[in-house]
A and B are shown apart, each in its own frame.
Chain A
Amino acid sequence: MKRELQTPTDERLEQALRALPRVKPANDLAARIIATLPPPRAAAHARALGALMALAAALGIGLAYQTAFDMSMRGAFDLLADYTAQPAIVTLYPRQAFDALAQAIPWFMVALSASALGLAAFLAARLTARTRAALWQRV
């Protein structure tokens, strides 16, 4: 095995090497490097997220409107109005009352619109999470 540098001279040489400062770059080099960097990819990601959120929200609102329209056509709102006006129907015949209401509700459309609105809410939360965190950090 080859001998490592151990003599006093070599130790002084090591000390001299350790004491030597770095070659310093121009003061503005870091700023120039930062200026040449492309914008963060997250910006494009956020744009896509925003577009998807808007699409999901529009779809959700449209489906919710269609659901309300279907419920109106199937008489769900009339049933609710009757139950409110005559609560005895619900108390005397609860099973029949709820069955009638359940049949008047378009469950598939309700699920569809709820999913779309839920997705829009989730995407909105994702989109604004960074801003909310940044606000907390900045204040």
Chain B
Amino acid sequence: MPIVSPLQILASIARAHVAPPFALSSANVELSDAALVTQHLAGDPHAFAELVKRYTGAVYNIAFRFTNNAADAEQISQETFLRAWRALPRLDAQRPLKPYLAKIALNLCRDWAAQTHAQWLDLDEQAEILADETGDPFENLSDQELRTRVRAQWAQLPPLYRTVLALRYSEELSYDEMAAALEMPLNTVRTHLRRAKARLRVLLEQDNET
């Protein structure tokens, strides 16, 4: 029979009794935004860093779609998280965080537009855009080619349309969340989205013709 030291016995007892809760707590379970916000407010320095890692891509994407400039998008992203950090103690932790961050980012985008005198939306874009809806102008394009052209033409859209499309399709926000983030009535958001798609279609048709 092997000789077992008292230390080994103690270690095995500790493993038997202590392992289950440790295993549970160390499991790689992704915490919800609300849990991370609560942990941050309780003083956990890693909780907000986790939120930054989780949403940097989304915030940067929104800022870039608006500004079309990497440096400005980075600066807006940085300021977005700083403002969110300051505002978190007043925020309802149960509310989804992504639309809230989008709202901060879009407010900063508005400030950026005011500073750089960039137009949110060209005046001629305010009118209803009528795309040719007869036939399929892209029938000669494969899905891959269409995606490539959409990516290229996206940059030609006004900032607001680029942003609305990004919020809806890249960030998958609901109409309500988009309305909250853009601080616009729901119907206005729907109108902008419809016009953005119509405008994109016109650009694609023009590109297809040339």
Contact = CB atoms under 8 A, between A and B. Distances in A.
Nearest to A9: B136
Interface stretch (B54-62, B92-100, B113-121): B54-62
Interface string A4-44: 11011110111111111111111001101110111111110
A13 B169 contact: no
Contacts of A125: none
Nearest to A129: B42
A73 interface: no
Interface stretch (B5-13, B71-79, B104-112): B71-79
- Chain A interface, DSSP helix/strand/loop, else mixed: helix
B78 A20 contact: no
B81 A37 contact: yes
Contacts of B25: 136-137
Contacts of A138: 26
B137 interface: yes
Contacts of A14: 169, 197
Given A13-B146, A22-B170, A36 B56 contact: no
Contacts of A30: 52-53, 56
B200 interface: yes
Nearest to A5: B197
A95 interface: no
B57 A25 contact: yes
Given A10-B201, A20-B170, A137-B26, A2 B49 contact: no
Nearest to A15: B143
A7 B139 CA distance: 12
B30 to A, nearest CB: 15
Bin the interface of chain B by size. 35 or more
A67 to B, nearest CB: 36
A13 B168 CA distance: 13
A32 B58 CA distance: 16
Nearest to A130: B43
A85 interface: no
Interface string A86-112: 000000000000000000000000000
22 contacts: A4-B194, A10-B197, A12-B136, A12-B143, A12-B146, A13-B197, A14-B197, A17-B165, A20-B151, A21-B170, A22-B57, A22-B58, A22-B61, A23-B65, A24-B61, A29-B77, A30-B56, A33-B77, A37-B48, A37-B82, A41-B43, A42-B44
Interface of A: 2, 4-5, 7-10, 12-26, 29-30, 32-34, 36-43, 45-46, 130, 136-139
Interface of B: 18, 21-22, 25-26, 40-45, 48-49, 52-53, 56-58, 60-61, 64-65, 70, 73-74, 77-78, 81-82, 85, 89, 133, 136-138, 143, 146-147, 150-151, 154, 165, 168-171, 194, 197-198, 200-201, 204
